[in-house]
Structure 1
């Protein structure tokens, strides 16, 4: 993980339970003598996230609608820290404004950006329920309203148009795109996760997720191709465009497309335990 990530060490379940008592019902001692939870249990993961956000990030509380994506906080905040490094190299460290494309019902990137670096964040989603959920999180945590704004993208053909206002400038955009091409493919990915957790007897995604959060026509490759193409129109209104790329085999085509558009680009590698991930950064 990024050296600034406070989750580099194992979870302090004792402290987390003191902060959020509901987590205690899901904590147990494993065969190695360590406190943990069942990460295949959606309710357990939800309560862990509530505890983490209350304990480390100053939230009063946090919740999401049933079945929506419950994000792993350590990996999400890693993206934020690496983004901060990209901005710092350009000398941008204060009064930062960022745009999260597809924030989801959890609103996690705007929350982390605002609470860790005091960035002003705009979160956008095409899903009305996700937008309502994000706004409810802000109502519960009134202090977030000073640094986070929620917008609804009404046209799913557009990524930036209708969201970025005239004369508005963002230091960066970020995105965790839907990476499956269909529900069937998403279900296969879920099964692989459950096998790794040793609970493959039931097909249930431990982190949840709705259709627009997990899959779209053409999957990640087509979504990112469309994002790159549409970013050209907003070249003067965005400092850095960024997006997670879950499948590294998609990078060569993306890089070729960016080269054709004469955009400067780089890929930032990230690691969380045994998991390797990355995000691509480009500017005009």
Structure 2
């Protein structure tokens, strides 16, 4: 569980635990925890100087999770027998991956960046692990939803046991749908998106996931989900090496994780403007590939995947967004550099290099700039008149050094630059801007937008 990189059976390096994970440098010290928490001590055995616990004992895994949350996160926590018991280091990986997605410049925030990050945990369970970790580690706020009485009862108890973060977490009953006009509109949209299915000639709704639970006025930075991975309870019990509990409602659904996450994808189409990122954990790599295809077919602008360290068990993360991605600018401050470039991600197949080039040509013409397009080279040469160049310089030099602006303007006799567009791979374009005026090469622009 430590930070060392391991080798797979195929010889490739396995992914390491997330570098910001509290357990990246070293695995939990069972002996130390046993000395500090007497309730944990009976579950710890020492052999050849190495302390361990029996991971096939549900009581041992539950007590380990309890003391880790208390000792390392200051969180009070408990679940009744049989409920799904999460592992703290592995669940932290998911939280930190979402943190990476949110901190990247790829997808702009829905709302003001100075507001608290807000997440939605689909099927939070009795353990309520993701809201508790997200709130305690990063100060995020959460809505956690579930459908069973025991999950809702114990999730609320776990929140109320931690008054320091209780105001950041709301537990919502996914079965208790409002009969307001808002709800009716949501159901109408669900029918359009095939979220309602005919069974024996009668239209019955799928179990509520996002549609009907998320209110029309709400917006979230992300949703996350540890879905029911299995199609049957027999399939769920195949791993005899561990015992983390789990009820049928938590572990099993018709069609397994593929059907459940497909339902999230369907809901995301209707709620594309309510979430910055949609995410889910995935248990099987074969399902991951299929789900990526479904997300792309749904029209997502960006799709991201990752692999989580889960001891001997592999898990993957799937994330997607419908928001138009920002340009990723790759620039250099090196003096004399006359070329700057950035990547455009998430384009649909019908928007290739030629279409982007023609859009740029239309923009420059609309701006009254002189431009010449060479479709064979996928490039546009653009020239600014003396007046346009000097106006641009005055606008750029918001706080010029004395005399510098005048020197620049006197040297400019019309700026010329070239825009080139290259297709790197389907959905990804490289846009390059090159300054053609060699006399200005010592004064590169900070970016080409």
Q: Name the residue aligned to 1:159.
A: 209
2:320 matches 1:282: yes
Q: Distance in 1 between matches of 2:246 and 2:28?
A: 24
Structure 1 residue 19, shift from structure 2 partner? 4.2
Cα distance per residue 1:65-114 (max 9 Å; x no partner): 11100111111011001110011003767510000000110000110111
Q: Distance in 2 between matches of 1:74 and 1:63?
A: 17
TM-score, structure 1 normalization? 0.90
Cα distance per residue 1:143-162 (max 9 Å; x no partner): 22121111110076221122
Q: Name the residue aligned to 1:259.
A: 296
2:273 matches 1:236: yes
2:284 alignment partner, one of 233, 247, 257: 247
Q: Name the residue aligned to 1:142.
A: 163
Q: Distance in 2 between matches of 1:135 and 1:271?
A: 29
**Conserved 8 A contact 1:176-1:244:** yes
The farther-off stretch of 250-259 and 1-10 is: 250-259
Q: Distance in 2 between matches of 1:228 and 1:242?
A: 9
Unaligned runs of 5+ in 1: 198-204
**Conserved 8 A contact 2:288-2:316:** no
Structure 1 residue 35, shift from structure 2 partner? 0.9
Task: Count residues in correspondence.
Answer: 269
2:33 matches 1:12: no
**Conserved 8 A contact 2:229-2:283:** yes
**Conserved 8 A contact 1:20-1:54:** no
Which has more radius of gyration? 2
Q: Name the residue aligned to 1:23.
A: 40
Q: Name the residue aligned to 1:168.
A: 218
For the aligned residue pairs, the C-alpha RMSD in angstroms reads: 1.7
TM-score, structure 2 normalization? 0.58
Q: The residue matched to 1:142 in structure 2 has which SS?
A: coil
Structure with the larger RCO, 1 or 2 (CA within 8 Å, 6+ apart)? 1
Unaligned runs of 5+ in 2: 1-16, 177-205, 323-449
Q: The residue matched to 2:309 in structure 1 has which SS?
A: strand
**Conserved 8 A contact 1:244-1:279:** yes
Q: The residue matched to 1:143 in structure 2 has which SS?
A: coil
Structure 1 residue 29, shift from structure 2 partner? 0.5
Cα distance per residue 1:97-141 (max 9 Å; x no partner): 000000110000110111111100111111111010011112222
2:96 alignment partner, one of 81, 84, 93: 81
2:117 matches 1:101: no
Q: Distance in 1 between matches of 2:297 and 2:211?
A: 22
Q: Distance in 1 between matches of 2:35 and 2:160?
A: 24
Q: Distance in 2 between matches of 1:125 and 1:75?
A: 21
